Chain A
Amino acid sequence: MVTVIDVENISKQFKIHHERSQSLKERLLHPRSGSTEVFSALKDINFTVLSGETVGILGHNGSGKSTLLKCICGVLQPTSGQIRLRGNLAALLELGAGFQTELSGRDNVYLYGAMLGLSKRGVDAIFDDIVAFSEIEHFIDTQVKFYSSGMYVRLAFAVAVNVDPDILVVDEVLAVGDERFQAKCVDRIRTFQEEGRSILLVTHQADQVRALCDRAIVLDGGLMIANGPVQESLRIFREHLLEDAVEHDRAGHQAEVAIDSVTTPSGSFDVRSGAGMHFDVHISSHTAYSGNFVMELFTRSGMLVSRSDAQGSPVNLKPGANQVGVDLAQIPLLDGVYDLNVGVVDYHGTVIAWKEQAASIQVTYNGREGGVVELGASIQQL
């Protein structure tokens, strides 16, 4: 294992001009007008990424995750500290940022390839793969300005993933294209992982981190508040989202509702596949509150098995201790450990209280099926 990205004490400060005076006249007439404020977007960030690792960077808007990514890609210079990179890096900060709309798709592939550090001969060698991946064979000699937005991003993604990077940096670009193309992109990322390349993925979709990453880093207000296993980081991320929401929550409900624990009558979370299950969620509340109850079940590899809520009938919490009973009529899951997340959200979907990994359900199964769910298949020759 080789360290491919080594981030050492990175800080980045921005000067914010309150009165933007970019014209010469303004600068000459009022040289001191407008105050500048220094804003720290990143504060002393340290972490490393090993070869073959996929690391997710989580954080809500303004947490500094894009700034960090830009520093790593070399688009921004950090104010202090340094980043050491080993191997070549392809960054997808914005798909098609380097495209010249007046040029044809073909010319743009060469230009974009050169921007990502390829020689002309290098692009020649992968040109056919790029065109095949982007699925725009017929339009490759058309000017890019006539492309649909889907074609545009497909071509850009195709170039970036075909340049054979050692490190791929992806910033929330997987949310483009239709579902089929997205699946293709995720597939390509999986291939990258198998080939032992490193991937840095910025997103605020927790599901994507769970599905793709080995490790996750959480940023909040320019500070790194978590760097560890995905489950752990996601828990911290959710909790911080909550804490953050508390500050912005005028009604102040978040401070008042908390999920204490999840229990079963027997005290055990072991269940046989196909059997039913009952568990109780203990919620404490300071005031009367009416909201929606949500539960999620994940496999240990991070796949969402099921998400369900109280289906339109709200839970009415009274001041003090409350109990919500959840009945699972039948659990058709196969062998494995499943993590349970529970929470209360308001009617706009804002999380009021959340408990990540509130319980782990151990399912035992002794049938012949494999996978996650039992379909009860019976196969016979007709």
Chain B
Amino acid sequence: MNDASAARVQRRSLENAPVRVVSARANLPTRLRNLWERHELLTSLIFSDIRIKYKNSTLGIFWSMLSPALTLGIYYLVFSVITKNGYPNFALYLFSGLVVWNMFVTAVNMATGVIVDRAGLVKKVSFPREILALANVGASVVYFSIQLSVLCLFLLALGHAPAWGFLWILPISFVALYLLTASVAIVMSAVTVYLRDMRHLMEVLLQLWFWLSPVVYSYQNTISQRLHDHGLTWMYFLNPITPIIMTFQRIFYVKTTVLSTNPPHPVIAILPTWSMSSFAMMNITLLAITIVLFLLSLTVFGRLEGNFESEL
């Protein structure tokens, strides 16, 4: 008996343990703190997501490079070989836009159904539910890094130097991309619980979104003049992923005006000729907007998560 009480004294000094409060609604700072406290779980989920995705495939994680490479090949074939858009080094142009788009679309696609798919977990284990969506975003960051490294190898192989002076904008642009992706992923994961059709609708919406972004075509070369004539340029730039894609293209594709590969070789404008400071300003503004979006998405998620239990 003495042993037991000694153990009791030695163990459990709970007086100083932190107090956690479960109440109707957690405010934003609490949500952020809870998220931060569980970053180990986030890491764990990211890598289990990746492992599960490639578990039973022969090529494994190699697919995260192979499938974008095949997509890139298809677009190259269609736009450069068949319809002859005349952009030199078109593969590089495509690649710099696709890394951005892939990161966004992979995460959003996965996250849209994630809470519904993992209902068993959501109903039985306690953790900040946003982590499920954030894990999907995290996994796509991993794929993004792999693709970005391949892009760098690509540059090296082509002997094509990136725009060194612009390179410092890349991290800002990436953080904005991350926050944008996370915001959309978090909101969609919660909305799908209430509207199961979202999953199917999202597939179409993302298609539309893709064509509204200058990935396979050049904004400058195709629609900028017409939009400008109608005073609708601002509308095109409402799409928050467009400035990010343009920044990546500016950094990796570098050239704003090029000589067409189609005879008789006219000069075509591919990218806006904005200065470095305008690119920087654009990205910093976008970063500020996406921070607000991210906080907003957490608030929306907090509102929606209260009834998950009865909806799942």
Contacts and interface: CB of A to CB of B under 8 A. Distances in A.
Interface residues of B, number: 47
B198 interface: yes
A184 interface: no
B20 interface: yes
Contact of B44 (A75, A86, A93, A120): A120
Interface centre among B15, B20, B40 (most CB of A within 10 A): B40
Contacts of A85: 19-22
B51 A194 contact: no
Interface centre among B38, B44, B122, B194 (most CB of A within 10 A): B44
A77 B22 contact: yes
B228 interface: no
B25 interface: yes
Interface stretch (B3-11, B66-74, B154-162, B215-223): B3-11
A114 B126 CA distance: 11
Contact of B8 (A70, A73, A94, A196): A196
Given A15-B310, A111-B48, A114-B40, A87 B195 contact: no
Given A78-B23, A98-B121, A102-B52, A24 B201 contact: yes
B306 A77 contact: yes
B52 A115 contact: no
A148 B194 CA distance: 35
B24 interface: yes
A24 B194 CA distance: 9
Given A83-B23, A166-B14, A100 B201 contact: no
B41 A115 contact: yes
A76 B309 contact: yes
Contacts of B311: 22
Interface in A144-166: 166
Size band of the A side of the interface? 35 or more
Interface centre among B7, B12, B43, B194 (most CB of A within 10 A): B12
A21 B122 CA distance: 21
A77 B25 contact: yes
A75 B125 contact: yes
B197 interface: yes
A14 interface: yes
Contacts of B84: none
B17 A78 contact: no
Nearest to B128: A74
A115 to B, nearest CB: 5
Nearest to B13: A2
B40 A27 contact: no
Interface in A80-139: 80-88, 91, 93-94, 97-98, 100, 102-103, 107, 110-111, 114-115, 117-120
Interface of B: 4, 7-8, 11-12, 14-15, 17-25, 38, 40-41, 43-45, 48, 51-52, 55-56, 120-127, 194-198, 201, 305-307, 309-311
20 contacts: A2-B14, A2-B15, A14-B310, A24-B201, A51-B14, A75-B126, A76-B309, A77-B22, A82-B24, A83-B22, A84-B19, A85-B21, A87-B12, A91-B126, A93-B125, A94-B124, A100-B48, A102-B55, A114-B40, A196-B8
